[in-house]
Amino acid sequence: MASDLKLRLTNTLTRSKEDFVPIDPTNVRMYVCGPTVYDFAHIGNARPAIVFDVLFRLLRHVYGEDHVTYVRNITDVDDKINARAARDWPDLPLNDAIRRVTETTAAQYQEDVTALGCLPPTVQPRATENIAGMQAIIGKLIANHHAYEAPQVGEVLFDVGSMPDYGALSGRDLENNLAGARVEVDSHKHNPADFVLWKRSSETEPGWDSPWGRGRPGWHIECSAMSERYLGEIFDIHAGGLDLIFPHHENELAQSRCAHGTDAMARYWLHNGFLQVEGQKMSKSLGNFITIHELLETDKFGGRSWPGEVLRLAMLMTHYREPIDFTVKRLEEAEEKLRGWQRVASAARGSGTVDGSVLDALSDDIGFHRASVAMDVIARKANRGTETAVECLAATLRFFGFAPDSLLKSAEVFDHSRIDDAVNARLTALNAKDFKRADEIRAALLAEGIQLMDSKNDAGERITKWEMKR
């Protein structure tokens, strides 16, 4: 064990903050639900990737890098994927079209999360590589009288009524689950809340041979099979977004426990809060649906692209369990904060160690905000000439997945005073409606690689910020 640091985590299952005690300290096991690769990952998908990457780093620090197993899956069989493949590649056979979609989107996801500073998980299984495991679990559920066949529709369904404490994770009993969820009322179901484990595939749909006919798995059974294969029947941490508690995680837990006859699937269930954009729920209809790739590579959000590290910090500045409003202002604040730390840390020459106060804050339910306050204290010490503080801050930044100097490029050596004077001269020209002069100043600055961003302050006055064009 690398550290005697004690972790406390908020467990959705018990609705309380608990001391984290691993089943086996020599192999701490965590499963995080990854993307369904039918489209580029949006910024909501970035939050669990970032948050639980920080937890992964913390677990590695406490228990040793070789003693933590982190599994994050890729869902590459899903009806949304089938629909996207048929839409985008109508001239190809469906299976070939599906391969085009999943290969492209999965590769982009890996590129995106790497840019966000996330370490690669220990294992990244694909659903399509674990069909045999899914079928084995379904077979056990049928044998244990927790699932049944509906041959008239070519389905195998989980019988929710066979599990007395179904709904324990979401905190809903069966009646409330029915009232609060969209469930299909079909005559072939014993209970309207029964969910699909296996469903029939047509000749044009992807499918695998099984004891119940050629078909494909339901969504929930995929994660049960992949987590069991790499982490065992019971493991330490299962994590994901708040939206997955019901039905996905509830159903995972039910089918895994009932298949194996265990009292748990995971000991600790962690869920990050929802994300909205500029005060609104993210949706394509509102025009505020933004992918990670768009933030990194285009000017769609805020009129510029954003470094992955800035996105990472912006996500971490709100506690992971709280809802987050993702705004341009938040990104600007994160960039300023990170650049300030880097100005101090860039002078580091040695290896340094992560400060204990930072780790103490983080160990309390992944409390990054308190950890960042501790980093501010270290930065102030470093500014007073404390060499050990400089090295400590650099080590702490690296621990969190930030480089000590990535934002400190040519902008740092520019004549800020001269540029500020030019910006103020342009504002004066704009206020005097001398738009020709204002455009000339903007063009001259742009030729130097300096990009201007206009906005208004709370008083409605025009203000301008500048940065190096990326």
Q: To which residue do tokens 């003693």 refer?
A: 67
Q: Is 33 exposed, middle or buried (0-12, 13-18, 19+ CB in 10 A)?
A: buried
Res 413: pLDDT? 46
Phi and psi at 131, nearest 5°, equal -65, -40
SS3 of residue 467 by DSSP: strand
Going by C-alpha positions, the residue among 326, 406, 401 that lies closest to residue 362 is 401
How far is 108 from 100, CA to CA, in rounded Å? 12
How far is 49 from 112, CA to CA, in rounded Å? 10
What b/e string do you get for 75-100 counting C-beta neighbours within 10 Å, with b at 16 or more?
A: bbbbeebbebbbeebeeeebeebbbe
How far is 259 from 221, CA to CA, in rounded Å? 11
Residue type, 421: D
Asked if 246 contacts 172 with a C-beta cutoff of 8 angstroms, the reply is: yes
What b/e string do you get for 296-327 counting C-beta neighbours within 10 Å, with b at 16 or more?
A: beeeebbebbbbbbbbbbbbbebbbeeebebb
Confidence (pTM): 0.86
> What confidence tens digit (pLDDT) does each residue in 414-461 have?
566 788 889 999 999 999 999 999 999 988 888 777 888 888 887 888
How far is 296 from 115, CA to CA, in rounded Å? 8
452, β-bridge pairs = 466
How far is 363 from 87, CA to CA, in rounded Å? 46
> What confidence tens digit (pLDDT) does each residue in 316-330 have?
999 999 999 999 999
Res 416: pLDDT? 67
How far is 66 from 266, CA to CA, in rounded Å? 21
Res 184: pLDDT? 52
CATH for 8-272 is 3.40.50.620
Q: To which residue do tokens 């089943």 refer?
A: 23
Instruction: Return residue ranges of the chain for CATH 3.40.50.620.
Output: 8-272
Q: What is the enclosing helix (H) or strand (E) of 362?
A: helix 356-363
Please list the ranges in the chain whose pLDDT falls under 50: 1, 179-182, 410-413, 470
How far is 340 from 412, CA to CA, in rounded Å? 11
Asked if 110 contacts 305 with a C-beta cutoff of 8 angstroms, the reply is: no
Q: What is the enclosing helix (H) or strand (E) of 380?
A: helix 368-383
Res 470: pLDDT? 47
Asked if 130 contacts 222 with a C-beta cutoff of 8 angstroms, the reply is: yes
Res 415: pLDDT? 63
Going by C-alpha positions, the residue among 104, 98, 208 that lies closest to residue 90 is 98
318, β-bridge pairs = none
Written as six digits, the tokens of 27 are 């192999």
Q: How many contiguous H segments (helices) and E segments (strands) does the chain have?
A: 15, 15
CA-angle at 11, arms to 1 and 24, nearest 5°: 30
Res 409: pLDDT? 65
Asked if 323 contacts 274 with a C-beta cutoff of 8 angstroms, the reply is: yes
